[in-house]
A = this chain, B = another copy of it.
Amino acid sequence: MDVKTLCLAVLFKGEATGYEIKKAFEEGPFAHFQRASFGSIYPALSRLLAEGLAEAEAREQDGRPDKKVYRLTAAGRDAFHQAIGQDPEPDQFRSDMLFLLYFARELPMDRVADLIDRYIDSYRSQAEHIVACRAQRLASGEEIDPGRWLVSGFGVAIYQAAADYLIENRDRLLSGNGRLPEAAE
């Protein structure tokens, strides 16, 4: 998904500054499945202005530098609806972890163990983080958006499954380094 569409999407949920849009990809609702940098966000926002899809308002702040709050126009909302109406190609997951583990035989055992442990940790903590966010949203009493709920639930399920798989197969890979793992299936 290109950054322009991503900005359209964030702004569709409400007005925001470039800085806040960045945060939406770091901590916010899109954190675990999309990302964008300032170097792509600011030019994208300028393009949105130029194309009449958004309008900006400068807001003064005490002390802080001014912020520029972007808001979609009617044309912008249309453009967004059109964008999500397109047919997507199936997702393909790219993973450096799998690339590395594929070559487990070429690496020292302790290095493999370390890699697996680190990935278990990162998957687990990501799952826990999302779970915490969900609990908080539930407790807050705010209205729950079904799409958002489904998406965060998906994140939990996938990260959990990834961590579980690694935990279950860690020792098999390490001890059986050369022998047949998981043969009893």
List residues of chain A with CB under 8 Å of any chain B CB. Answer: 1, 6, 9, 12, 29-30, 32-35, 80-81, 84-85, 88-107, 111, 119, 122, 138, 144-151, 153-155, 157-158, 160-162, 164-166, 169, 172-173, 176-183
User: Do most interface residues of chain A lie in helix, strand or loop, or is the interface mixed?
Assistant: helix
Specify which chain B residues have a CB less than 8 angstroms from the CB of A104 in the assembled complex.
Answer: 146-147, 150
Contact across chains for A106 and B94 when beta carbons are under 8 A apart: no
Contact across chains for B165 and A32 when beta carbons are under 8 A apart: no
The docked-state distance in angstroms from the alpha carbon of A90 to that of B115 is 10
Specify which chain B residues have a CB less than 8 angstroms from the CB of A149 in the assembled complex.
Answer: 180-182
The docked-state distance in angstroms from the alpha carbon of A156 to that of B165 is 10
Pick the residue among B96, B105, B154, B155 that contacts A1 (CB under 8 A).
B96
Assembly stoichiometry (copies): 2
> Which residue on chain B has the smallest CB distance to residue A126?
B90
> Which residue on chain B has the smallest CB distance to residue A111?
B85
Contact across chains for B9 and A99 when beta carbons are under 8 A apart: yes
Specify which chain B residues have a CB less than 8 angstroms from the CB of A101 in the assembled complex.
Answer: 147, 150-151, 154
Are A165 and B157 CB-contacts (below 8 A) given A9-B99, A178-B146? yes
Specify which chain B residues have a CB less than 8 angstroms from the CB of A33 in the assembled complex.
Answer: 93-95, 98-99
Contact across chains for B153 and A165 when beta carbons are under 8 A apart: yes
Contact across chains for A177 and B146 when beta carbons are under 8 A apart: yes
Can you offer 16 A-B residue contacts whose CB atoms are under 8 A?
A: A30-B99, A33-B95, A34-B99, A35-B94, A84-B100, A101-B151, A102-B147, A104-B147, A105-B145, A105-B146, A146-B177, A146-B181, A147-B173, A154-B165, A154-B166, A158-B158
